[in-house]
Amino acid sequence: MENEQVDYSSLAKYLKCKVIDVMSKIEIFKELISRELVAQREMQGRYSQMREEYIINNNIQEAILYNKFPIEKQEKKIKSSIDVLEMIFELAEQCADEEIKPYMLYFESNELLDKNENFPGIRKIKALKLNDRDKAVFLYVLWSSVTGTEVSSMSRTIDGFIRESSRRIKYCQKLISGENDLITKNLIEIEKSNFFNDSGLKLANEGIKLLEEEGIKIAEIDKKDFVSCDSIRSKQLYYNEKEKQNINILS
């Protein structure tokens, strides 16, 4: 294999066509990625611009080199909605690491949700009718809560899904001002800081309820911190004569 990775320019050169003709076949690239035949990576090119490159997946390379056909697709067994959430979180991490673009995260996440709608928890998530960006943020915070992170950094979370600075700022402002569906639907709440990019995201009541309906408790009230009224003994209070007169006047 002469070149391990290829981009649109090298493909256009090989196919003897224009780069724009290759880029117009984006649906084919999506199909190849969804079937795990190729993987997409973002690489930094000239002038700090990001460019997309594609590489044949390792199991395909091995099959070609050692003539191991047919290729056995190793699919992760999905036994619950929690497995689906974990897989979507892994995609989100790849997006945050710029291994895949946000649109691929949205595409593959929606595909996972559609294929596993038989799980009640997934049906409830779909019934929320969130847009792709809000859904990505919500599922990221949801899984972070499952794994023990009560508050997720808003800046790190949003940076993973929105690359343009101006759009990031606008999105964060909508969250903080309560003009976002995640806030109005009581799925996420903001833990505010002096600067908005230091604020945190955590599950609100409806988000917590969704997990509890899946049998997952992420928080429990420590009853040791509360004193029962029945355990408090009555006690006669004594005042000096002057204070007693003042209390009688007030009562």
Dig out the tokens for 172 from the structure: 């964060």
Give the span between the Cα atoms of 86 and 92, in whole angstroms. Answer: 10
CA nearest to 81, candidates 38, 34, 46, 126: 126
DSSP code per residue over 101-128? -HHHHHHHHHHHHHHTTTSHHHHHHHHT
Q: What percentage of the chain has pLDDT greater than the value 90?
A: 27
151-163 pLDDT tens trace: 888 888 898 888 8
Q: What is the CA radius of gyration of the chain?
A: 27
- Pick the residue with more confidence: 66 or 213? 213
- Positive or negative, the CA dihedral 132, 198, 94, 44 is positive
Predicted local confidence at residue 71, as pLDDT: 65
Contact 157, 200 (CB under 8 A): no
CA nearest to 103, candidates 44, 173, 26, 45: 26
CATH architecture of the domain 1-75 equals Orthogonal Bundle (1.10)
61-77 pLDDT tens trace: 777 777 777 666 666 68
Contact 121, 213 (CB under 8 A): yes
Contact 140, 160 (CB under 8 A): yes
Predicted local confidence at residue 205, as pLDDT: 92
Give the span between the Cα atoms of 127 and 245, in whole angstroms. Answer: 65
Dig out the tokens for 137 from the structure: 């943020």
Amino acid at 171: Y
| Residue 145: pLDDT over 70 | yes
Give the span between the Cα atoms of 75 and 78, in whole angstroms. Answer: 9
| Residue 227: pLDDT over 70 | no
CA dist list (Å): 160 to 14, 180, 206, 217: 33, 18, 24, 27
- pTM for this entry: 0.63
Give the span between the Cα atoms of 186 and 203, in whole angstroms. Answer: 8
Dig out the tokens for 4 from the structure: 């391990």
Q: For residue 189, how many C-alpha atoms fall within 13 Å in the half-sphere facing its CB?
A: 9
Which residue intervals of the chain bear CATH 1.10.10.10?
A: 1-75
The residue whose two tokens read 């409806």 is 206
CA nearest to 148, candidates 222, 206, 218, 220: 218
